[in-house]
Structure 1
Amino acid sequence: MKKVIISAFEPFDNAKTNPSYEAAKLLPERIGEADIEVMRLPVVFGVAAALLAKRIDELRPDAVIMLGVAGTRTKITPEVIAINIDDARIPDNQGNSPRFEKIDSDGADGIFSTLPVADMVGEMTKGGISSELSYSAGAYVCNDLFYRTMNYLKTKGLSIPAGFIHVPNPSDSEEVIKSELSISEIARGIQICIEKTISR
């Protein structure tokens, strides 16, 4: 039986919920031949990645898919690349505000996702779920988690599919920018991404 870790984030910036975690909670415990484990991570630079790395060591999963919310987007957007920069527009949930700092002084400038991102978008679009590729995961905690985790897997020599997917605010959100997708449709999009990953 395969094992897949799905990480998502707690609320931040005065929000009551985080759609990444609300969608992740709706995923079935098993998808195809894979057991799904959902992790809720703190919105804290470095800490989120350390917790995920610890769980990767313990579980030795067959894939890792990280989720976060992108409040300015209206589609599900698998990320193509993580960049080696932390630059906080707002403090994280522990008050940290790195400004244009390298995540790893000796690390690569960017690390590509190893998820089948183009296939994911194609399959979600086929299923009527609004989706497109993104070439920037920003420079906040989402990108920090994405970069650190990809760097960690690379350092450990773990060649498992891993990457980050941003989700939008759902249709019933109180936010100004939101998607036409309901939270259950966002969860269905994530499930399609998982299916595409484990079927490779």
Structure 2
Amino acid sequence: MPTTILLTSFQTWLPDQKSNASDDLLLKLQAENDPFPDQAIFLTFLRQLPVDVFPASDLAIAQIEHLQPDVVICCGMAESRSQLTVEAGATPRYLVAQVYWFIYYIVLQQIFSFQGLSYCLSALLGSKTNFKTHFLKTAVDLEDLVEGLTETEMSYDAGKFVCEGLYYQVLSYLRDYAPTTGCIFVHVPVLTPENISPILTDFRLILSRLAIWVTIQRQNQRIDTTTAA
């Protein structure tokens, strides 16, 4: 059975940006005829999501519901980083950067809740305890995922803004509605002629290892089902 992987990227968010590195990386991968000749991997792309947490999350979750992928890989740009960074998880602390949209949440967002209000109030009061309590961790073993990769490392800082917001919303959805689906967030540095080849090599290896992870999860599920029977 093939492994289905959904990959997402963002649009630019500043007028002087010609492109978003996350989208540049997916575009390179998408242009390759057969990046995984020895594995049954089906890639599907949701590129150039808006740089806005809730519209981006709605689009990503709608595609997840439609496609029902085995793995979701959300990608975003990190201009200050020099390597691919795979995020361990996410919290709702992205709301700190969006406090000035507080009224927008209350008036316009259908998914606004009292829980969301508590997050915003924590941001306004400067409390970090609530965010740590609501940390959502990826189910993927990231240490195994990045072991031996030359251009990739783990990260515990998903960015506190739209990147972390999307990651948190997707992880939250998967926890509640598709717990067997894996999800990671990958931050991509600005791509240059010098770094594009090794970064793309690492990224392919990440996808290949995730396909192996999916195979192991399926085997474990079959064992659990057999044992329960």
CA 1:9–1:61 in structure 2 vs 1: closer, same or farther (change >3 Å)? same
Q: Which residue of 2 aligns with 1:142?
A: 163
Answer whether contact 1:7 1:38 (CA < 8 A) is retained: yes
**Structure 1, unaligned stretches of length 5 or more?**
173-179
Structure index of larger Rg: 2
| 1:2 aligned partner | 3
Partners of 1:144 and 1:123 in 2: CA distance: 29
Q: Deviations over 1:36-55 (max 9, x none)?
A: 01111111121111101000
* DSSP 3-state at the match of 2:153: coil
Of all paired residues, the percent bearing the same amino acid is 24
Following superposition of structure 1 onto structure 2, how do residues 111-126 of structure 1 map, counting pairs within 5 Å? 111-125=136-150
Deviations 1:87-141 (A, max 9, x none): 475x8xxxx9547x9995389611001233212221422xxxx221111101111
Code of the residue aligned with 1:26 in structure 2: it is K
Task: Check whether the contact 1:116–1:197 (CA below 8 A) recurs between aligned residues.
Answer: no
In structure 2, runs of 5+ residues without a counterpart are 106-111, 120-132, 214-229
Matches within 5 A, 1:38-117: 38-40=45-47, 41-87=49-95, 98=101, 105=116, 109-117=134-142
Give the aligned partner of residue 175 of structure 1.
Answer: none
Task: Give distance in 2, aligned partners of 1:88 and 1:196.
Answer: 34
Moved over 6 A (4+): none
User: What is the TM-score normalised by the length of structure 2?
Assistant: 0.71
Root-mean-square deviation over aligned CA pairs: 2.6
How do 1:105-184 residues align onto structure 2 when only pairs under 5 Å count? 105=116, 109-125=134-150, 130-172=151-193, 181-182=195-196, 184=197
State how many pairs are aligned: 182
Q: Which has the higher helix share?
A: 2
